[in-house]
Every structure is written in structure tokens, then in C-alpha cells.
């Protein structure tokens, strides 16, 4: 793993419950190269992801959302 870490915000289009967001966050954390993922009830559509771009490409977060049944877009990449 490199020393380079970047972050991106993922916007989920769907309204989700706290438990759904936590489960999806855990799915993101299981991806190689993801160091942190955070979601907050106050901004329920947003998930902040910190990752190593030498290991994983940010488009994989959108793909993972789709596999999990969500529609999502990257913000700030």
C-alpha cells in the first residue's frame, strides 16, 4: 500500500435507513484500498470514502453501490 491517500464523497440517490447505510459502509470498508468510510444521519445521502488510488479506482464505489441496489454519483473527484 502506498502513502498516497485521497478522499471522495459518494452521493446515494435513494433515501436509506441508518442500518442500510451502515451495511453499505461495511461493504465499502471491505474493498481493498479503502482505509475509511463515514456516513452520518444528518447528511444521509453522503458517504465520505478515504482510499489509496494506486489500489482502487473511485468508479468502483459507484459500481459497488449499484451491486448493492443503489444509484450513486461521485462528488469531488
Q: Can you tell me the distance from the alpha carbon of 22 to that of 6, in angstroms, rounded to the nearest whole number?
A: 21
- What's the chain's average pLDDT? 94
Determine the pLDDT at residue 1.
55
CA distances from 57 to 18, 38, 51 (A): 26, 18, 9
**Domains in the chain, start-ordered, CATH in brackets?**
6-75 (3.30.70.100)
Instruction: Write the pLDDT tens digit of every residue in 19-38.
Output: 999 999 999 999 999 999 99
Q: Is residue 77 over pLDDT 90?
A: no
Instruction: Write the pLDDT tens digit of every residue in 4-14.
Output: 899 999 999 99
Amino acid at each position: 500500500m502506498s502513502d498516497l491517500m485521497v478522499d471522495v464523497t459518494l452521493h446515494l440517490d435513494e433515501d436509506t435507513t441508518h442500518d442500510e447505510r451502515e451495511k453499505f459502509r461495511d461493504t465499502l470498508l471491505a474493498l481493498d484500498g479503502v482505509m475509511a468510510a463515514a456516513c452520518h444521519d444528518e447528511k444521509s445521502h453522503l458517504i465520505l470514502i478515504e482510499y489509496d488510488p494506486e489500489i482502487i479506482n473511485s468508479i468502483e464505489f459507484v459500481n459497488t453501490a449499484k451491486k448493492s441496489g443503489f444509484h450513486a454519483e461521485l462528488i469531488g473527484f
